[in-house]
Amino acid sequence: MGATTSTSSSSPQPSSNLDSSQKQASEIPPPGCPMHQKKMDGCPMHQEPNQKSESCSGPAHQERAYEYVQCPMRATQKDDIDPSNMMPPPNQTPAPDQPFTLSVVREESSIPRAFTDKKWVYPSSQMFWNAMLRKGWKWKDDDIEAVDMENIIKIHNKNNEKAWSEILKWEALHAKECPCGPSLIRFGGKAKEYSPRAQIRSWMGYELPFDRHDWIVDRCGKQVRYVIDYYDGGEVDKDYHFTILDVRPAFDSMSAIWDRMKVAWWRWTS
Average pLDDT over residues 169-189: 96
**Domain-embedded: residue 262:** yes
* 41 located within any domain: no
- Is 221 a domain residue? yes
- How many domains does the chain fold into? 2
At residue 239, the pLDDT reads 76
Closest CA to 76 of 47, 105, 40: 105
- Do residue 127 and residue 88 come from a single domain? no
Q: Does the residue 255 lie in any domain?
A: yes
Q: Is residue 102 part of a domain?
A: no
| Span 50-97, pLDDT tens digits | 444 444 445 666 766 776 676 655 554 545 666 655 666 668 999 999
Supply the range of the domain harboring residue 137: 122-270
Q: Where are the beta strands (DSSP E) in the chain?
A: 108-112, 119-121, 183-189, 211-219, 222-232, 243-249
Task: Say if 137 falls within a structural domain.
Answer: yes
Return the percentage of the chain with pLDDT > 90, whole number.
Answer: 57
Whether 155 and 82 share a structural domain: no
Give 1's pLDDT tier (boundaries 50, 70, 90).
very low
Same domain membership, residue 127 and residue 87: no
**Span 119-124, average pLDDT:** 95
pTM of the predicted model, to two decimals? 0.71
Residues 129, 249 within the same domain: yes
Position 2 pLDDT exceeds 50: no
Is residue 29 one of the residues assigned to a domain? no
